[in-house]
């Protein structure tokens, strides 16, 4: 009897349903995660967002004054440090590299417990003062959800990867109210693949997640852009210069992030579970000096875009964010680097715009516009995702007039980043572990095995005019429930399976019908192909065996079953 999981696994409609389920589940996880961040922030600070009231005392601990920020990261570290160390060490850090590795090298498999551990650990870290973002965690949470659903239904690895990308897209879409950015983030960074089928499924998941997120969290633009027009074509030179500077800032942020992590690794000698608590003391001292670094920092980012800070203070906030985020990750914190890169870009862009206004008052546009362009350009310089950078800034502002300046700065920032560094902020973490996603994956045994070494002689085929009752008798004597089908002249037409024949005979009215009425045509595999191609065709076709065609793909010359293929793989060492 066919189970629900088998029906979902074997049909396009089932795959669509899984994409919808991943999108809806990720939206619910995003809402829950944001609630956890807000709850822990209020518990630790007594305020909805401490970055909006920097330097204020905790109303629950008035005797400590503003010094409570020294203790908040320590207490948070005592809670999430053992949690991560005991249940899911993949939850440490910014999360996106782990998802990229799972898709590129691990068949999309992510441990189910990663979602829960990441949500709690990152919410505690951010609520306790960690200067990191919530977008990286929700990408990892959504991806873990997609992987878990794929494992429950037991989908093939290619489909598992797509479900993981659906979760990543849904996470960005729900968090930023930006479905297009979620789609291109998943395609550009997670899948690195733009096939029509995967694109459609990722879009479906992102739209579902965004619709649910909007219903719960609201539909307001993330940032409000002041009235903006390009006054003179020469202003594009300013955007180009900002792109150059932002590309360098993105690379600098990446290098500082991992340099601080190296220093923390070299200094720390205690147990890993205690590292966030002990290191939290140092982070607390940074927050005491610069309380604007507490948590994600979106209120501070908004004030910078509105032009409320002097140039010197903008640069101080820029350097402070690089240091605070690097320290949070270095001591074992859990959170993303997506939002910090936007924060750094906003400070850089606003400072650049203020300088441009003072030097070229008749040419430069509003400071806020430069701040927004800087956000996209620094993210592009750090992450090497220019398409995502353009689209996310457009969706965050709902303002089309900024597109051309954005494209100018982001493309130049990406080129500068490539010129200055081999890796992005995400791929460098993996390269430091010895993983190069740009290199071809290690060749599997199936990819090295010619199908001609595995195939057996072709079984006696069934003629298309044979009555189904006689075909059923023939199939009952096979161990794999499938036989090749030929016409009266001996030409190959496809295969006939025990499943299809039994379904046709169930009502007793088709016993004398010809076998050709239930013909199935599996994907064509030639004798020149390798075993991995055969396995993929068997998975897609859902049959237990299939003919191997000649080099022209016309006549069958052999036969391969699942049993033959798996036995051959067991006999050959990997790599």
**CA-to-CA distance for 429 and 186, rounded, in angstroms?**
18
Given 361, 396, 431, which residue is the final one in a domain? Answer: 431
**Residue 138 counted as domain residue:** yes
Question: Which pLDDT score, from 0 to 100, does residue 121 have?
Answer: 94
The answer to whether 138 touches 29, Cβ cutoff 8 Å, is yes
Question: Which pLDDT score, from 0 to 100, does residue 439 have?
Answer: 59
pLDDT at 572 over 70: no
**Residue 440 counted as domain residue:** no
Residues in the chain: 575
The answer to whether 318 touches 344, Cβ cutoff 8 Å, is yes
The answer to whether 413 touches 437, Cβ cutoff 8 Å, is no
Structural domain boundaries enclosing 384:
235-431
Question: Which pLDDT score, from 0 to 100, does residue 117 have?
Answer: 92
Given 431, 456, 489, which residue is the final one in a domain? Answer: 431
Which band of pLDDT confidence, cut at 50, 70 and 90, is reported for residue 477? confident
Given 190, 217, 244, which residue is the final one in a domain? Answer: 217
For 485, list phi and psi in degrees, rounded to 5.
Answer: -125, 135
Which band of pLDDT confidence, cut at 50, 70 and 90, is reported for residue 365? confident
Residue that wins the pLDDT comparison between 187 and 283: 283
The answer to whether 15 touches 159, Cβ cutoff 8 Å, is yes
Which band of pLDDT confidence, cut at 50, 70 and 90, is reported for residue 551? confident
Pairing of strands 492-497, 556-561: unpaired
Estimate the crossing angle of helix 386-397 against helix 157-176, to 10 degrees: 40
**365 and 327 in one domain?**
yes
Residues 6+ apart with CB under 8 A from 455: 527, 548, 557, 558, 559, 560, 564
**Residue 250 counted as domain residue:** yes
Q: Among 51-65, 107-121, 456-470, 528-542, whose mean pLDDT is lowest?
A: 528-542
Residue that wins the pLDDT comparison between 86 and 362: 86
Give mean pLDDT, residues 367-380: 91
Give mean pLDDT, residues 18-24: 92
**119 and 19 in one domain?**
yes
**267 and 119 in one domain?**
no
Give mean pLDDT, residues 234-238: 86
**CA-to-CA distance for 154 and 149, rounded, in angstroms?**
8
For residue 470, which of 431, 515, 415, 425 has the smallest C-alpha distance?
515
Secondary structure E strands in 468-552: 482-486, 492-497, 545-549
pLDDT at 298 over 50: yes
Give mean pLDDT, residues 342-362: 91
pLDDT at 129 over 90: yes
DSSP 203-256: HHHHHHHHHHHHHHH----SSPPPP----STTHHHHHHHHHHHHHHHHHHHHHH
Question: Which pLDDT score, from 0 to 100, does residue 1 have?
Answer: 34
Upper half-sphere CA count for residue 209 (Cβ side, 13 Å): 43
Tokens 């459609």 locate to: 200
Tokens 């045994």 locate to: 445
**423 and 457 in one domain?**
no
pLDDT at 232 over 80: no
**187 and 253 in one domain?**
no
Question: Which pLDDT score, from 0 to 100, does residue 222 have?
Answer: 62
**Residue 536 counted as domain residue:** yes
Which band of pLDDT confidence, cut at 50, 70 and 90, is reported for residue 101? confident
Question: Which pLDDT score, from 0 to 100, does residue 557 have?
Answer: 84
Which band of pLDDT confidence, cut at 50, 70 and 90, is reported for residue 247? very high
pLDDT at 317 over 50: yes
| Whole-Å CA distances, 173 to 166, 177, 182, 527 | 10, 5, 5, 45
The answer to whether 273 touches 404, Cβ cutoff 8 Å, is no
Give the count of domains, the chain.
3
CATH of the domain at 118: 1.10.3080.10
**Residue 437 counted as domain residue:** no
Query: What letter does residue 320 receive in the DSSP assignment?
Result: H
- Structural tokens at position 318: 């820029």
Residues 6+ apart with CB under 8 A from 341: 250, 253, 378, 379, 382, 383, 425
Which band of pLDDT confidence, cut at 50, 70 and 90, is reported for residue 509? low
Which band of pLDDT confidence, cut at 50, 70 and 90, is reported for residue 9? low
**321 and 265 in one domain?**
yes
**56 and 121 in one domain?**
yes
Pairing of strands 545-549, 492-497: unpaired
**Residue 360 counted as domain residue:** yes
The answer to whether 76 touches 114, Cβ cutoff 8 Å, is no
Give every strand in the sheet of 462-463, ordered side by side: 462-463, 482-486, 492-497
Question: Which pLDDT score, from 0 to 100, does residue 2 have?
Answer: 41
**195 and 55 in one domain?**
yes
Question: Which pLDDT score, from 0 to 100, does residue 352 have?
Answer: 95
Whole-model pTM? 0.77
Estimate the crossing angle of helix 562-571 against helix 531-541, to 10 degrees: 140
Give mean pLDDT, residues 305-327: 94
Helix %, strand %, coil % of the chain (to 5): 65, 5, 30
CATH of the domain at 450: 3.10.580.10
**390 and 419 in one domain?**
yes
Percent of the chain with pLDDT over 90: 40
DSSP 382-451: HH--HHHHHHHHHHHHT-GGGHHHHHHHHHHHHHHHHHH-SS-TTHHHHHTTT--TTSPPPPPHHHHSBG
Question: Which pLDDT score, from 0 to 100, does residue 510 have?
Answer: 65
**453 and 364 in one domain?**
no
3-class secondary-structure state, position 561: strand
**CA-to-CA distance for 536 and 506, rounded, in angstroms?**
31
- Structural tokens at position 391: 């689209």
For 20, list phi and psi in degrees, rounded to 5.
Answer: -65, -40
Q: What is the mean pLDDT of the chain?
A: 85
**181 and 40 in one domain?**
yes
**283 and 135 in one domain?**
no
Estimate the crossing angle of helix 96-105 against helix 135-153, to 10 degrees: 30
């Amino acid at each position: 009897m066919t189970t629900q999981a088998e029906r979902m696994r074997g049909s396009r409609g089932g795959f669509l349903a899984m994409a919808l389920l991943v999108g809806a589940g990720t939206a619910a996880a995003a809402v829950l995660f944001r609630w956890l961040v807000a709850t822990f922030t209020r518990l630790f600070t007594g305020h909805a967002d401490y970055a909006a009231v920097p330097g204020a005392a905790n109303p629950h601990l008035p005797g400590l004054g503003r010094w409570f920020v020294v203790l908040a990261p320590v207490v948070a570290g005592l809670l999430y440090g053992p949690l991560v160390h005991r249940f899911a060490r993949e939850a440490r850090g910014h999360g996106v590299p782990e998802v990229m590795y799972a898709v590129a090298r691990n068949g999309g498999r992510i441990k189910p417990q990663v979602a829960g551990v990441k949500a709690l650990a990152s919410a505690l870290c951010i609520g306790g003062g960690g200067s990191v973002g919530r977008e990286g965690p929700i990408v990892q949470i959504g991806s873990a959800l997609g992987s878990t659903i794929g494992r429950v239904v037991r989908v093939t690895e290619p489909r598992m990867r797509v479900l993981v990308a659906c979760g990543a897209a849904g996470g960005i879409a729900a968090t930023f109210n930006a479905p297009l950015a979620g789609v291109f983030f998943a395609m550009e960074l997670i899948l690195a693949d733009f096939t029509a089928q995967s694109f459609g499924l990722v879009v479906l998941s992102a739209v579902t997640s965004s619709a649910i997120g909007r219903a719960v969290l609201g539909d307001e633009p993330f940032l409000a852009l002041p009235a903006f027009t390009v006054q003179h074509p020469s202003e594009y030179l300013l955007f180009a210069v900002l792109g150059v500077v932002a590309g360098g800032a993105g690379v600098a942020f990446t290098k500082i992030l991992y340099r601080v992590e190296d220093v923390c690794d070299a200094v720390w000698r205690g147990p890993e579970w205690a590292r966030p608590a002990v290191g939290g003391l140092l982070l607390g001292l940074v927050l005491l000096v610069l309380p604007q670094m507490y948590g994600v920092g979106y209120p501070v980012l908004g004030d910078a875009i509105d032009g409320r800070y002097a140039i010197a203070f903008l640069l101080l906030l820029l350097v402070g964010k690089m240091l605070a985020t690097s320290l949070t990750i270095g001591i074992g914190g859990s959170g993303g680097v997506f939002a910090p890169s936007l924060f750094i870009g906003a400070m850089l862009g606003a400072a650049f715009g203020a300088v441009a206004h003072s030097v070229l008052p008749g040419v430069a546009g509003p400071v806020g516009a430069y701040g927004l362009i800087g956000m996209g350009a620094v993210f592009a310089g750090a992450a090497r995702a220019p398409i995502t950078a353009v689209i996310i800034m457009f969706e965050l502002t709902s303002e089309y007039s900024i597109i051309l300046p954005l494209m100018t700065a982001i493309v130049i920032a990406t080129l500068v980043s490539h010129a200055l560094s081999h890796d992005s902020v995400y791929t460098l973490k993996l390269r430091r572990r010895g993983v190069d996603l740009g290199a071809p994956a290690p060749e599997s045994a199936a990819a090295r095995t010619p199908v001609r070494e595995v195939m057996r002689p072709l079984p006696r085929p069934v003629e298309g005019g044979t009555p189904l009752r006689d075909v059923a008798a023939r199939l009952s004597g096979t161990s794999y429930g499938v036989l090749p089908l030929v016409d009266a002249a001996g030409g190959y037409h496809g295969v006939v399976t025990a499943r299809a024949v039994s379904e046709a005979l169930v009502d007793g009215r088709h016993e004398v019908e010809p076998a050709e009425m239930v013909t199935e045509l599996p994907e064509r595999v030639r004798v020149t192909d390798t075993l991995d191609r055969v396995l993929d065709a068997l998975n897609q076709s859902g049959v237990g065996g299939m003919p191997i065609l000649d080099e022209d793909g016309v006549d069958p010359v052999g036969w391969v079953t699942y049993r033959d293929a798996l036995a051959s793989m067991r006999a050959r060492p990997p790599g």
